Amino acid sequence: MSKFVYTQENEQEFQRLLKKYPKSDSMMLPALWLVQEQLGWVSPEAMLFVAEKLGKPPIEVHSVTSFYTMFNLKPIGTHHIELCKTLSCMLMGSRDLKKHIKDTIGIEPGQTSVDGLFHLTEVECMGACGGAPALALNGKYHEKITCSGLDELVKECKSCK
């Protein structure tokens, strides 16, 4: 098992945030975000690292990480598609988008494409009901997205390999 450590930049950011959130409970989410930004997911080794840095029992870090669906507990594809599944988006076409993703990329929620390029997650309300259906691709929100618009985004991702 390889030992996880922050990059130099992430360690500096951790130290900066530590001044802002001096209580270890407050610092848990930012510390985990730094891990996920670095790895793309939160590995067991990284959870142990965060526990040690914050002086917390590893089970507490695991509990927080597994409670919040925004943290990935396993490696995901290079490009993360987060599709809103709540009512406004569903009524405006998110089900069609989900089917289109299955038909074109070959994945369903929770899966990563065979080529490792795409991962699909269904998420609760993205707060973009007026722009439904909404999805985020690599953290960037797209509203009133259509199947052809999604195809364009996928094409752009594939060209950036």
With cut-offs at 50, 70 and 90, classify the pLDDT of residue 3. Answer: very high
Q: What is the pLDDT of residues 108-131, one digit of tens each?
A: 999 999 999 999 999 989 999 999
2 occurs within a structural domain = no
Tokens of residue 144, six digits: 């009133």
Are 63 and 86 within one domain?
no
Q: Are residues 86 and 150 both part of a single domain?
A: yes
Query: Backbone phi, then psi, for 53, in 5-degree steps?
Result: -65, -35
Q: Is 148 inside any structural domain? A: yes
| In the predicted structure, residue 161 carries a pLDDT above the cut 70 | no
How many separate domains does the chain show? 2
What pLDDT is stored for residue 144 in this prediction? 97
Q: Indicate if the pLDDT at residue 22 is higher than 90.
A: no
How many helices, marked H, and strands, marked E, lie in the chain?
7, 4
132: pLDDT confidence band, cut at 50, 70 and 90? very high
Please tell me whether residues 56 and 17 are part of one structural domain.
Answer: yes
Q: How far apart are CA 99 and CA 54, in angstroms?
A: 43
Residues 101 and 50 in one domain: no
What pLDDT sits at residue 2? 59
Q: In the chain, pLDDT over 70 holds for what percent of residues? A: 98
Average pLDDT, the chain: 93
- Tell me which residue range forms the domain holding 109: 79-159
Res 96 pLDDT > 80: yes
Given a cut of 70, is residue 30 above it in pLDDT? yes
Q: What is the pLDDT of residue 119?
A: 95
CATH number at residue 51: 1.10.10
Look up residue 95 and give its two tokens: 């089900």
Mean pLDDT of 142-159: 95
